[in-house]
Amino acid sequence: MFRTVVGVDGMACGHCEKHLCDAISEKCQVKKVTASRERKECEIISESELDEAKIREAVESCGFKFLTVKSEPYEKKGLFSSLFGK
What is the chain's pLDDT, residue by residue, as a tens digit (86 residues)? Answer: 999 999 999 999 999 999 999 999 999 999 999 999 999 999 999 999 999 999 999 999 999 999 999 999 998 776 555 555 55
- pLDDT of 77 reads 72
The CATH fold of domain 2-84: Alpha-Beta Plaits (3.30.70)
- pLDDT of 84 reads 55
Q: What is the pTM of this model?
A: 0.85
DSSP secondary structure string, 3-68? EEEEEEE---SHHHHHHHHHHHHHHS--SEEEEETTTTEEEEEESSPPPHHHHHHHHHHTTPEEEE
The enclosing H or E element of 71 equals strand 65-73
SS3 83: helix
- pLDDT of 47 reads 95
- pLDDT of 76 reads 75
